[in-house]
A and B are shown apart, each in its own frame.
Chain A
Amino acid sequence: MCRLFALTSRDPVSPMLAIDALNVMKEGHDGSGVGLYLSGLGGPFEDLKEYPVLSGIFTDAGLRRLSEYMTEKGFSSKYSVMFKPDTEPPVGTPKRGTYASIAYELPPEWKDLDKDDLGERLVKTRLELRAEGEQTGDIMVFSFWPDTIMIKEVGDPMAIGEYLQLGREEIHARHILAQGRQNTNYAINLYACHPFFIEGIGTMTNGENTAFIPIKEYLQSRGVTGYQGYQSDSEVFTHIAHFTTKKLGLDISAYKHVITPMNDDEMKDHQDREFLSSLKKACRKLIIDGPNCVIGCLENGTMFMAQDRKKLRPGVVGGNPELGMYAFSSEICGLNAAIPDRDKSQDFQPMHLDTAIVGPDCREVVKCSQKDPLLLQR
């Protein structure tokens, strides 16, 4: 099963911290890939919060094509971090070219767009580039969003970390999602590597989602730009989080009510029972099935963890409010490795009704149970 590790911190930290934690949990993943989601960027990106960052992998031809394409659209590049490894890649990792994160100045006519329109256009641009890259094999893009970098590669996390020098100052971040992948049901494909990302929301999962096809078909039929791809059976979790928060306007604490609603008995005495049961009916197609643990990060840096009731070994959340650092880990050993200096008695393992949430201030773990009254609107 994949290993998950997420870190949220008041000050930017090196992604290698997360990779090290994955390495400690090594037994559980086969190292067939690693994915990183970084937001709350430090370093040179600190002052570029407004500008969407395109991250991906490009061949030389791909880079040329990219710059033509972006210029054509009216984007001008503001700052870029290009990394072209000069060492031989580790076993199993192909030589791909340049790993780039480029911040762009928006085309002038986009500047007056409202947030939703702008978001949709950014998603469209990413999808167009992705589609183009899928034909030529020269371009792979994982995200195009302000204050967000995504890095994915096949191979063992530690080896990739060293190969891509992930400890570089330029990509230090406050919020990091990292996954050591175990490739299971599908052929190895970089786009299938967690975490997944859409419009400011990144999530990653371990487990198996047996309701994948009906959920995928449902999401695809919602008419939302960006609900496509679905190379992995858990890509849908990200989109459900997006749908719940952005399209339905619910708080992230309602996410669990959508993916794993309570049964009638549990719901019986709930003060919002009427709303919850209608939500359950309307969102029936989004109910997930199979043991799953989901860790995700929202646009404002809020991080959360939830699991369904079949997850026998839930993930764990712990941290140190003084340090201003919290970690979400699928295994306790990863948490121990990353934040050894913490009050372990405060560690929290969210069970089947719980969502653990750490706000961007990294002060405490908010434990919400599905039995709690709802915070309806965001």
Chain B
Amino acid sequence: MLSERPITPSTLSRKDLPWQVKWDIQTCTKCGRCTSVCPVNAIELGVFRKREIKTSMGLNAKPVNEFSTFYGIRQRTDPAYACIGCAMCNMVCPNNAIEPVRQEHSTTLQFQNNRGGQSRTRGGRRNSGESLLDQLKFIRISMLTDPALDAGRHEFDVRTLLGRVLSPENEIKCFNENGWKPPVREIYPLVIGSMSFGALSPNMWEGLQMGVAYLNEELNMPVRMCTGEGGCPPRLLRSRFLKYVILQIASGYFGWDEIIHAIPEMKVDPCAIEIKYGQGAKPGDGGLLMWYKVNKLIAAIRGVPQGVSLPSPPTHQTKYSIEEAVAKMIQSMSMAWGFRVPVYPKISASSTSLAVLNNLVRNPYAAGLAIDGEDGGTGAAYNVSMNHMGHPIASNLRDCYKALCVSGAQNEIPLIAGGGIGKNGNLAANAAALIMLGASMVQVGKYVMQAGAGCLGSEKDRCNVCNIGVCPKGITSQDPRIYRRLDPEKVAERVVDFYLSFDTELRKVIAPLGRSTSLPIGMSDALGVSDKHVADRLDIKYVI
């Protein structure tokens, strides 16, 4: 830092930064760990000069200036290096001598984030803590005719179906005539949503896969995980664990070469194929893996050169329209696995969700529809997309479910809802609410990173540097020096932990409502909300 600092339109004072680094000279031992761990180099070692006036006791001697230099931590004020509040410095400091403090009223950095004409891109969630799902209450408690069920002791069937379910009439007809039946998987209703190998570090991915395998094989919970765009490690493709994986194909087709080539060697079928048309964080935008993260391994798996940014186009460029795309992609993906694997599209919640759904209802091969609300997404996106684009999930899902009810297909096309579930930590309550609004299952991404690996990102724009490969926890970094921090075994353990507690909590919600033998999909009479407009819109009870 210069001793004489220039003052230009974009210079900031410490006061202007939303995160201030508080450093305590008294307890700091100058070990230097904080500066070495800081992912954005927001702090640096600083040399400070100090003048002290020494006055001696007697009258004869005159006071003197005494100069000393000392070393400490200095926060940089260059917007490019602004502290992101991750608190890694605090985590590594042996004495708690340093910590970031949020300063709510400094907004100046917002105006300085777009430097060099570049808009800000980031990972993480929308910068808004509000959640409609948290406002919904479960009001239909069985008390009168019969007492509530015992969540701890009763037998519960917490499973759901992924895949096209035939109507009862057709099912019987098909059985009698020995006809072709669309594949259906019975799975756990909480799915780990798509986060690609490429976005996540190898350690994170391995941890998740191990957790999922443990849940399936040891705890008999049929949990499934989606890969996201970008392919799948070749060893996994050829292993028996593939059945716990939902492979995603997106508009960039990254990694699909590898997958297609592995088909003859696959020991088992994947759980399902998800065709990504849109995602909650950046509706109408393609995926974006920035060059920082495209290292040798990722480049190899995706079949691309190293060190280049990998944007996917916003649409499947080879297709003429969504109708054609949905029909053809589903058809060809089903065909690739001999019609043994459910194939479904994923779209961002938007005003066109219903149109897509209508296309699926008449498509006998469509296995479901995943809808991702505005709060979803973990990957890199423009700040403006993440904060301002998209449709909230609750009403979008509700509209879709009601449309299915009208056409009598509500058991036939499962809806998979995502986007903002558990954003304030209320995973089970949010998931249960969406299920009662009509979702057959829900998917979570960010929650898995937060609960499973200790991701620091928050709705207050904390951390959120997933896109540039410096993730301080090693979750979304492809740099081995960083992702070494993350222990896959521990991630697996945490994933299992939060699944088990989710399971308990879900039972605690549905048992008092008197449900145990089937998932309460569409049990909208159980829900109430104290906002009249919300109640009318979602067609649930208005309670105050």
Residues of A near any B CB (own CB < 8 A): 1, 182, 184-185, 207-208, 210-214, 217-218, 220-223, 243, 247-250, 260, 263, 274-275, 278-279, 281-291, 308-310
Contacts and interface: CB of A to CB of B under 8 A. Distances in A.
A291 B147 CA distance: 9
Given A217-B410, A218-B410, A282-B166, A212 B516 contact: no
B517 A289 contact: yes
B161 A308 contact: no
Interface string B403-444: 001111111000000000000000000000000000000000
B517 to A, nearest CB: 5
Contacts of B165: 281-282, 284
Nearest to B167: A282
Given A213-B523, A290-B145, A290-B146, 4 more contacts: A184-B144, A211-B523, A309-B155, A310-B516
B168 interface: yes
Nearest to A287: B518
A62 to B, nearest CB: 33
A79 to B, nearest CB: 39
Interface stretch (B94-102, B169-177, B315-323): B169-177
B145 A221 contact: no
Contacts of B146: 1, 207-208, 290-291, 310
Given A213-B522, A214-B521, A310-B516, A278 B181 contact: yes
A284 B525 contact: no
B411 A285 contact: yes
Nearest to B174: A278
B184 A281 contact: yes
Given A279-B168, A289-B515, A223 B523 contact: no
A214 B515 CA distance: 12
B514 A290 contact: yes
A210 B522 contact: no
Contact of B411 (A1, A212, A218, A274): A218
Given A217-B410, A282-B411, A290-B514, A248 B525 contact: no
Contacts of B517: 260, 287-289, 308-309
A299 B406 CA distance: 31
Contacts of A283: 168
Interface residue range, chain B = 35 or more
B35 interface: no
9 contacts: A217-B410, A250-B172, A278-B166, A278-B175, A278-B181, A279-B172, A282-B165, A290-B515, A309-B155
Contact of A281 (B161, B407, B409): B161
Which of B145, B175, B515 has the most chain A CB atoms inside 10 A of its CB?
Answer: B145
B524 interface: yes
B161 A284 contact: yes
A233 B172 CA distance: 27
Contacts of A243: 168
A308 B514 CA distance: 13
A221 B171 contact: no
Contacts of A185: 144-145
Contacts of A182: 145
B157 A263 contact: yes
B522 to A, nearest CB: 4
A220 B410 CA distance: 11
Given A184-B144, A218-B410, A282-B166, A212 B525 contact: yes
B145 A282 contact: no
Summarize A's interface: helix, strand, loop or mixed.
loop
B305 to A, nearest CB: 46
Contacts of A214: 410, 520-523
B513 interface: yes
A221 B520 contact: no
A72 to B, nearest CB: 33
B33 interface: no
A286 to B, nearest CB: 8
B142 interface: yes
A211 B411 contact: no
B87 interface: no
B140 interface: yes
A217 B140 contact: no
A290 B410 contact: no
A279 B171 contact: yes
Nearest to A210: B514
A279 B172 CA distance: 7
Nearest to B408: A221
A352 B354 CA distance: 41
B80 to A, nearest CB: 54
B149 interface: yes
Interface in B160-217: 161, 165-172, 175, 181, 184
B514 A289 contact: yes
Contacts of A282: 165-168, 170-172, 411
Contacts of B142: 208, 210, 290
B516 A221 contact: no
B179 to A, nearest CB: 11
A218 B407 CA distance: 10
A21 B157 CA distance: 38
A285 B144 CA distance: 24
Nearest to A208: B145
Nearest to B407: A221
Contact of B168 (A210, A213, A248, A291): A248
Nearest to A290: B514
B294 to A, nearest CB: 43
A241 B142 CA distance: 25
Contact of B516 (A184, A222, A278, A289): A289
Which of B154, B168, B513 has the most chain A CB atoms inside 10 A of its CB?
Answer: B168
